Each structure stands twice: as structure tokens, then as C-alpha cells.
Amino acid sequence: MRTRAASSQSFEELLSAFVEELQARWYSKTLVKHARAMLGRFFAERREHCQREDRRAALRSLLFVAVGLALSLGANYAVGRFESLPLFADFMLIPSWFFVWSGFESYVDSRGEFGRKKKYYGALSLARIAFRDLEGYEGGLSEAGAPKR
């Protein structure tokens, strides 16, 4: 009778351990799927954010150029309309060129920066993400924390 009780108890322990292992594997797979989806969404959202910032920077640059050109044209119109202000056009040339060149500089600088970021996050959002259990990895880890090959 004792052997039966012992084998019965070990069967229950074995069954319990098996159920726990199944739950752990299911939880692990669910967690990995969820983490992959979250990372994919994160990278896609970062790419979209960079696209919005790129458009915003381009519009800001266009606004600077438009303000500069409007100042220059407005000063020339005012001098033509009111002939008593000949130095006004020369004076307004400084801020108008400042706005025009600041707009162009901003456009050129932001295009390169946001272009690189959009490309980077676009590639990451399309990447296949895989997780590896480094604790159970037979090769171990190198000093830098990367798997040894």
C-alpha cells in the first residue's frame, strides 16, 4: 500500500510540474508575442513621429523663407510708394536675408537628420524580432554581453 501511495503522490507531483511547465511555456510564448508586437508598434510610431517632425521642420523653413521674401518685397514696395524712405529698403535687407538664409539652413539641416532617423526606424519596424534565452544558451556570453559564437 505504501508503494501505491508513494507512486500516486509522485504522479500528482509530476502532473503538477507538467502543468506548471505548460503554463510557463504558454506565458513565455504569449509574452514574447506581445513584446514583438509592442516593439514593432514602437518603431513604427517613432518613424511616423520623425515624418511629422520632418514635415513640421519643412513648413517652418518655408515660413522663414516666406517671411524674408515678404520683408524684402514689402520694403521695396514701401520705398516705391513713399519716395521719402530710400534707406528703408537697405535697412530691411538685413532681416529679410536673415530669414531667407535661416529658412534654407534649417531645411537642409533637418532633411539629413530626419531622413536618417526615418530610414533607421523604418528598417527596425519591418525587422523580424527574435528573442533568445541567454541564460540557457550553451555558448555563454562574451564579456560585452553578446552571445559567443
pLDDT tens, residue by residue, 9-35:
676 776 677 777 766 676 677 777 888
Look at the pTM and tell me if it is higher than 0.75: no
Confidence grade of residue 67 (pLDDT, cut at 50, 70, 90): very high
Mean pLDDT of the chain: 79
Show the cell assigned to 101: 538664409
| Side chain identity at residue 68, one-letter code | G
Where on the phi/psi map is residue 137: left (φ > 0), alpha (ψ -120 to 50), or beta? beta
Identify whether the C-beta of residue 98 lies closer than 8 Å to the C-beta of residue 68. Answer: yes
Which pLDDT does position 133 carry in this prediction?
Answer: 66
- Quick count: other Cβ atoms within 10 Å of Cβ 112? 9
Phi, psi (5° rounding) for residue 144?
-80, -10
Which pLDDT does position 113 carry in this prediction?
Answer: 86
